């Protein structure tokens, strides 16, 4: 059971890193963070906050890039 929790944590981090490339990966990191809550609620809450912040920042940067502002 612990191994599955560790795998979810690893996948959440992978999705957070991939969010920088494609903002759609933010959805995957948020889902993995929520599922990880049953294994370690404290770390999952931090992971969820990181996933949301990274997703929003990258989304805004991509919108600015598309509109030609940056």
pTM, 2 dp: 0.80
| pLDDT for the residue numbered 36 | 93
Is the Cβ–Cβ distance between 7 and 39 less than 8 Å?
A: no
pLDDT of 1 strictly over 70? no
Averaged pLDDT score across all residues of the chain: 88
Instruction: Output the CA torsion sign for 37, 43, 45, 51.
Output: negative
Terminal CA-CA length for the chain: 46
pLDDT of 40 strictly over 80? yes
Q: Give, as one character, the DSSP assignment of residue 37.
A: T
pLDDT of 3 strictly over 90? no
What does the pLDDT look like over 7-23, one tens digit per residue?
888 888 888 888 877 87
| pLDDT for the residue numbered 2 | 66
Is the Cβ–Cβ distance between 35 and 10 less than 8 Å?
A: no
Residue in this structure with the two tokens 């990258």, named with its chain if needed:
58
């Amino acid at each position: 059971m612990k191994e599955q929790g560790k795998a979810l944590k690893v996948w959440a981090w992978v999705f957070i890193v991939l969010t920088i490339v494609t903002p759609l990966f933010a959805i995957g990191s948020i889902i993995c963070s929520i599922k990880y809550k049953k294994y370690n609620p404290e770390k999952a809450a931090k992971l969820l906050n990181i996933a949301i912040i990274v997703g929003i920042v990258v989304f805004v940067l991509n919108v600015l890039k598309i509109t030609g502002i940056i």
